[in-house]
Chains A and B, each alone.
Chain A
Amino acid sequence: METKKAELPRNWELEKLADGRMVLNMGPSHPAMHGIVRVLLTVQGERVMDADVEIGYLHRGFEKTCESVTYNQCIPYTDRLNYVSPFINNVGFSLAVEKLMGIEAPPRCQYIRVIMSELSRLTDHLTCIGANAMEMSAFTVYFYLINAREELYRLGDSVAGGRITPAYTRVGGLTRDLPPDFKQATAEVFRMVRKNISDADKLLTRNRIFYDRLHNTGHISKEDAISLSFTGPALRSTGVPLDVRKATPYLVYDRFDFDIPVGSNGDNYDRYLVRMEEMNQSMRIVEQALAQLPDGPINHPDFNVILPPKGEVYGNIEALMAHFKLTFEGVKPPKGEVYQAVEGGNGELGFYIVSDGTGNPWRVRVRPPCFSLTGGLSQMIKGGYIADIIATFGQINMIGGELER
């Protein structure tokens, strides 16, 4: 038995260094850290002196796989990037391909994409705050927020036919239009979401324990955040009002009145507050979009881009040919390269696509927002307590699928 013990990997054990410091292994599967990530800590007592974040446990080769399928076949894969806000990934990828092709989806489609993106942002933030609160042992809040998220998932389900893997967009359009009672259903869901957010707000925002755990922990300065390519709530918590929806508006975001909340301190508590306010702003956007929602087609009229309706396919040869061409070869953007950024739940989600003129992308690159955030994690937890790692890790909202693709 003794020989077996000696064979155990060195860094899996608590290792004592000469000067009283200790190497402590946190993860890859740690009960208080959602997501699979390993943090190798060098601690002195309870203080984190050094940290090495090791990722790669959920790498599935998204970018490689995309190179051998058609553009529309990539869309279900994008669901699995940030699986908490799948619609934003769908929209971002479709927008990138449309930019590559030089086409634009019809107005109604653009409005629906905005609505679904904002619902996704809500589910993303609800999950982040709920899980964060749960890890700070506020378990009730988790249920309140996950309840609200569940209602939003059901709403998304009624639209796209899938709770977390909707694969809702297509290049040039959508799979289906909104259901007829969508406006009313949204109003009802929002009533509940608002109530749950308000309950969570009352339980958390001025809660002494929660405040103490989050305030001044995981601090990052504005300069460091910019240098580390931070985006999203983590960047805005430092006071930089950068939001892709405002800076370089895509879809119809320039038609809505909404605010970009910013923090001042760059700590976990500011990130929490930014997320809480962003949820209200998202609901504001959805309500404005529903009020302005135009009638009309949801798909691009060109049958070289979008599948013709079944009636046409069975009725005339042109549509039948388009159907076969699109199914087998897919849309064929011209040679070129584009980068399209959208505002994901965690920050700038970018798609860099290179086309060689065939039906398969030559290169698909995703710029995942939480990749940079996780890259900056070691800097954010250095100097703090081990317990603060839980709060900081929760607030950077690492999503494995998006981080490692």
Chain B
Amino acid sequence: MSSYLIETLKTRFPAAVLETHDFRGDETVLIKKEALPAAAAFLKDELGFDFLMDLTVADYLPREPRFELVCHFYSSKHNYRLRLKCPVAGTDARIASLTPFWAGANWFEREAYDMFGINFEGHPDLRRILMYDGFEGHPLRKDYPLKKRQPRIPHRD
């Protein structure tokens, strides 16, 4: 089963798969961000990955494309996990939303937007979730200093 999943994705999306590895047994596929919706639909409908367990972003500054969207899928039918990653450029921090496939992506993507400033296209309600309106910057970006102070915000209506 190990390489089966990766091979299936490779044959299905030959132009989109950029890199694969299974470091410590975690099967990982890096695909182009344009192919994300198609790959997500394929994983969900044909490979039986019914759970979007986690969706997050990692910042690899100063590398470009600096961001990586990291999704962890789980199939309860086959008891199997897969990590799908998409590079996202810092100059064009946009990627398609997974909310049409998994309702749970809603809050995960809001958090990723809040913390990294990635815009999820097609998200129904993309706004900050942990930080407040008026917060400047995105705290989990590598160029956000650990002890940065925030401006005082006026009393809100």
Contacts and interface: CB of A to CB of B under 8 A. Distances in A.
Contacts of B79: 247-248
A79 to B, nearest CB: 20
Contact of B56 (A240, A336, A352): A352
Interface stretch (A61-69, A81-89, A262-270): A61-69
Interface string B107-133: 110010001000000000000111110
Interface in B39-73: 50-54, 56, 58-60, 70, 72
B33 interface: no
Given A56-B131, A59-B130, A336 B24 contact: yes
A341 B53 contact: yes
A99 B26 CA distance: 10
Nearest to B80: A248
Contact of A229 (B53, B58, B60): B53
Contacts of A9: 155-157
Contacts, number: 102
A362 B28 CA distance: 18
B51 A229 contact: yes
Given A248-B79, A348-B53, A56 B130 contact: yes
B26 to A, nearest CB: 6
Contacts of B72: 339, 350, 352, 367
B59 A367 contact: no
A228 B54 contact: no
A245 interface: no
For chain B, the bracket of interface size reads 35 or more
A133 interface: no
Contacts of A350: 53-54, 72
Interface in A225-266: 226-231, 240, 242, 247-248
A46 interface: no
A272 interface: no
A318 B50 CA distance: 51
Nearest to A350: B54
A294 B79 CA distance: 30
B76 interface: yes
Contacts of B146: 64-65, 68
Given A248-B81, A404-B130, A228 B104 contact: yes
A336 B25 CA distance: 12
Interface string B135-157: 00001100010100000000111
A159 B146 CA distance: 34
A112 interface: no
A100 to B, nearest CB: 7
Contacts of B128: 56
A371 B38 CA distance: 26
Dominant SS at the A interface?
mixed
A95 to B, nearest CB: 12
B20 interface: no
Nearest to B110: A375
Given A63-B140, A363-B59, A227 B102 contact: yes
A229 B56 contact: no
Contact of A64 (B53, B83, B106, B139): B139
Contacts of B131: 56, 59
Nearest to A379: B103
Contacts of A336: 23-24
Contacts of B81: 248, 339
Given A339-B54, A352-B72, A363-B59, A100 B24 contact: yes
B156 to A, nearest CB: 6
Interface in A354-397: 354, 362-363, 365, 367, 371-372, 374-376, 379
Contacts of A99: 24
B26 A242 contact: no
A336 B140 CA distance: 19
Given A229-B51, A336-B23, A350-B53, A375 B107 contact: yes
Nearest to A11: B157
Nearest to A68: B146
A16 B54 CA distance: 38
B54 A352 contact: yes
Interface in A189-241: 224, 226-231, 240
A240 B58 CA distance: 31
A70 to B, nearest CB: 15
Contact of A224 (B26, B76, B103): B103
Contacts of A365: 54, 56, 58, 70
A371 B155 CA distance: 28
4 closest residue pairs by CB, A with B: A229-B104, A375-B107, A367-B54, A56-B130
Given A63-B140, A64-B140, A367-B72, 6 more contacts: A55-B129, A61-B139, A63-B115, A363-B59, A365-B58, A376-B104
18 contacts: A9-B157, A55-B130, A56-B128, A63-B140, A226-B76, A228-B102, A229-B104, A248-B79, A337-B23, A338-B26, A339-B26, A352-B56, A362-B60, A365-B58, A371-B108, A375-B106, A375-B107, A376-B104
